[in-house]
Structure 1
Amino acid sequence: MTTITNSPETLRAAMVDNVKAAGHATSPAVEQAMRTVPRHDFVPEAAVGDAYADTAVITKRASDGSALSCASVPTIVAMMLDQLQVEPGDRILEIGAGTGYNAALLARLTGPGGSVTTVDIDPEVTAGARRGLDATGNPHVEVITRDGSLGASENAPYDRIIFTVGAWDLTPAFWEQLAPGGRLVVPLRWRAQTRSVAFVRDGDALVSDSMELCGFVPMIGQEGERSGTIDSDGLVTLYWDVDQTIDAAELSGVLDQSKETVWSEVLVGAAEPFDGIWLRITGHDSRICRICADRAAVNAGLCTPAIPIRSPALADGDSLAYLAIRKVQEGRFELGAIGHGTYGHRLARQLCDEIDVWNHDRNAQPRLRTYPLSTPRAAIPFDPTLNHELIDKAEARLIVSVI
């Protein structure tokens, strides 16, 4: 028999307390919505304890085991809802229906005077979302089966648009369907890292006002990222964007060349994030990419990135350097870089310079502006006091600006 200690209500309260402790659900409205909407009713095949744990609940997998749809991690859900800043009466579009849980939270936030439309390309996913929404008293949320990149023009314009799938690109539909001054929150991927970016529409520009590290199931049909292994056993992989000149074949075998290690003297605690180093580099260096080392490569000493599955690297011709870390005392770690190839030492030194700049203001963030790709470069304003990296995607033009 289920005891009251493990009741859905008790577990839900504990979930929200955990979300609050992590610094999210800062809005009273978001907190109340999460305390009210029954997450377990949207993942009926999961144990109630799993439904309220701070983990994603996978609801559909591909044949290779990769996740195709899920109920997102509650702390990430709260973080993005904080970014979205829903007001009562808002018209909201969600891209990625998932289980329907997030749409139910959105319906709670916008209230009876607003509307929520959620879109997903997979009819099995939308059918499940529809069931969950109906079962929890949300028949007014409209669920549409469609390619999310098209949005839902029939209910536009929207005051708020939120993606609950990872996007590599933004299509013209989102400029056409987002109201002037509206907010768009999207897990946007560039230079092989993903940030939940909150944009505010200013004319034809979407201008960021917050960015948070995250990871999401990618949207189907956006193939702008490339990858390639650089060792003979296929244990180490680089990921980069299609507009970059990185060539995995040219880097093949680079890890077998002599290793150059440079340490920065910058220290971090065991729980201190340092992903801002990577983010900052995307604003001025087109050589930045992601390196991923299999555990066997790490154990053999072939490749030892700071975070084995995702660390920043600089790739230049036949040379490479990646972020590294070493323990210097209990609970304290030093950041550095390891380089290989003709310019390995120089690249490692450059990464350490980036670590040093980041260390002087660890909370600084670049500014992102996004335009339709049709926007002429001459029409885009640039602040001469900042460095800029212009990244052309298939349908959007992204400008990353840093001091």
Structure 2
Amino acid sequence: MNTTTGASPEDLRNRLVDDILRADVAGLRDTSVETAMRAVPRHAFLPDVPLEEAYANKSVTIKENPDEDALPLSCASQPDVVHFMLVQLAVRKGDNVFEIGAGTGYNAALLKHLTGTSGQVITCDIDPDVTAYARRMLDANGCGDVRVVTRDGALCAPEFGLYDRMIATVGMWDLPGAWWGQLAVGGRLVVPLRWRGLSRAVAFRREKDRMRSDSVKMCGFLPVIGQDGERNDYIDDNRLVRLYWDEDQSIAPERLRNALTQPKSIVWTDATVGPAESFDGVWLRLSATERATCRITAKPAAVEAGLHHPASPALSPALVEGDSIAYLTLERTAEDTGAEPRFRLGAVGYGPAGADLAERICAQIRSWSPDRTAEPVVTAYPADTPDSDLAEGAVINRPSVRLVIAY
């Protein structure tokens, strides 16, 4: 049972929403979403979590994975991400909404608040334990009219009609073919889409023969079960450095083991960032220009030993070609004592083509720097769309969709 010795649930909820609006992490707002988040009690969907934790701006695990090295099986999403994805979705009164990933039922309750009594919300999950939990929480909180179904979200739910809005709260590597037939032309799809090692909440508008984004925001979600097109492996003998890439990329980790032991090439740019400034757009630009783009992670031991220092050790962009690799890095600039620290961006390369790969990363840093908030346009086409019908940009092929990433 929720317990607290401090403020009331209403005060904590309003404080959380105030904090989300003040931080404005995605630069998106909608008063109807704000009203819904002030009205729907998140703590009531997390009855075993202390009140302060229920109203902290963080995700909450509701079903652990029995594999201790694996991610949890289900989570309540971080509230600021819930907020901006609902703004991206732009739900209207009376809409028919389909949600993939039932979670606690909280997001479905927010969706029902947004659709009103004239709308319909269907939420689904492949895990019967998750849907049973969501059903109990929704019933206990006056949302008995939200439909909860247990099935693979890739199959959608055609028995409930054509959808005006669809939203996934799990990371998707592909856009299933069934979704194309179930989302109305003019409708909106918001999905945490994964490509080239990154994950972004992409808001698509459904057109006749394609879906075209109008918003791309940074996010992180548990990957959906059943889409296994992502690959990962260590590239050093000490298992400190790991790569993540897509199955359509010809990356062979074993070819890189010798490269990491060779002298490195470092290329710097004049672009700098402060401690709280994002350089996320560099990765997005790389994914729109370089087929070799992937993700690198370095464990603390590699960083502390001075062996490898990606700009963000937990997830940074890299380029890999054959037996060569380069990754984004940064270093603190010289400055007067007391000034806010600045960090210049550059790239580190290893292997025969390491210097060239590092320079190619720096070229995208230089392209990003003058307009750091620019977002790519992500256009999705059915998998059988011929090349001649695709927009200009980097093409990424998936089993059910062809993605084009362009600036």
Q: TM-score, normalized by length of structure 1?
A: 0.96
3-state SS, counterpart of residue 139 of structure 2: helix
Once the two structures are superposed, residues 98-121 of structure 1 have per-residue CA deviations (whole angstroms, 9 ceiling, x without a partner) of: 000000000000000100000100
- 2:358 is equivalent to residue 348 of structure 1: yes
**Conserved 8 A contact 1:201-1:207:** yes
Q: 1:276 is matched with which residue: 273, 277, 281? A: 281
**Partner amino acid for 1:167?**
M
3-state SS, counterpart of residue 342 of structure 1: coil
Alpha-carbon distance between aligned partners in 2 of 1:301 and 1:230, rounded to the nearest angstrom: 17
1:85 maps to what in 2? 90
3-state SS, counterpart of residue 283 of structure 1: helix
Alpha-carbon distance between aligned partners in 2 of 1:277 and 1:160, rounded to the nearest angstrom: 30
Once the two structures are superposed, residues 187-229 of structure 1 have per-residue CA deviations (whole angstroms, 9 ceiling, x without a partner) of: 0000010000000011120100000000001100000111121
Output the aligned Cα RMSD: 1.4
Q: How far did 1:363 drift? A: 1.5
**Conserved 8 A contact 2:33-2:114:** yes
**Partner amino acid for 2:108?**
A
Gaps of 5+ in 2: none
Aligned length: 397
**Conserved 8 A contact 1:367-1:400:** yes
Moved more, 337-346 or 183-192: 337-346
Percent of matched pairs sharing the same residue: 51
Q: 1:55 is matched with which residue: 55, 58, 67? A: 58
Q: How far did 1:84 drift? A: 0.3
CA shift in 2, pair 1:110/1:25, >3 Å: farther
Q: 1:99 is matched with which residue: 96, 104, 114? A: 104
3-state SS, counterpart of residue 45 of structure 1: coil
Once the two structures are superposed, residues 306-363 of structure 1 have per-residue CA deviations (whole angstroms, 9 ceiling, x without a partner) of: 1001000011111111000111144211111111110111111111111011002112
CA shift in 2, pair 1:370/1:163, >3 Å: same
1:13 maps to what in 2? 14
| Aligned 1:388-399 pairs, distance under 5 A | 388-399=393-404
1:177 maps to what in 2? 182
Moved runs in structure 1, 4+ residues, more than 3 A?
1-5
Q: 1:118 is matched with which residue: 117, 123, 131? A: 123
**Conserved 8 A contact 1:368-1:398:** yes
1:163 maps to what in 2? 168
3-state SS, counterpart of residue 253 of structure 2: coil
**Partner amino acid for 1:96?**
G
| Aligned 1:67-82 pairs, distance under 5 A | 67-82=72-87
Alpha-carbon distance between aligned partners in 1 of 2:356 and 2:143, rounded to the nearest angstrom: 58
Q: How far did 1:186 drift? A: 0.1
Q: TM-score, normalized by length of structure 2?
A: 0.95
Q: How far did 1:4 drift? A: 7.7
**Conserved 8 A contact 1:92-1:159:** yes
3-state SS, counterpart of residue 256 of structure 2: coil
Q: 1:364 is matched with which residue: 366, 374, 383? A: 374
Moved more, 203-212 or 294-303: 294-303
Alpha-carbon distance between aligned partners in 2 of 1:374 and 1:141, rounded to the nearest angstrom: 35
**Partner amino acid for 2:226?**
G
Alpha-carbon distance between aligned partners in 2 of 1:253 and 1:44, rounded to the nearest angstrom: 52
**Conserved 8 A contact 1:290-1:312:** yes
Once the two structures are superposed, residues 89-147 of structure 1 have per-residue CA deviations (whole angstroms, 9 ceiling, x without a partner) of: 00000000000000000000000010000010000000000011001100000000000
Alpha-carbon distance between aligned partners in 1 of 2:263 and 2:40, rounded to the nearest angstrom: 56
**Conserved 8 A contact 2:3-2:50:** no
Gaps of 5+ in 1: none
Alpha-carbon distance between aligned partners in 1 of 2:109 and 2:20, rounded to the nearest angstrom: 18
1:335 maps to what in 2? 345
Alpha-carbon distance between aligned partners in 1 of 2:137 and 2:160, rounded to the nearest angstrom: 22
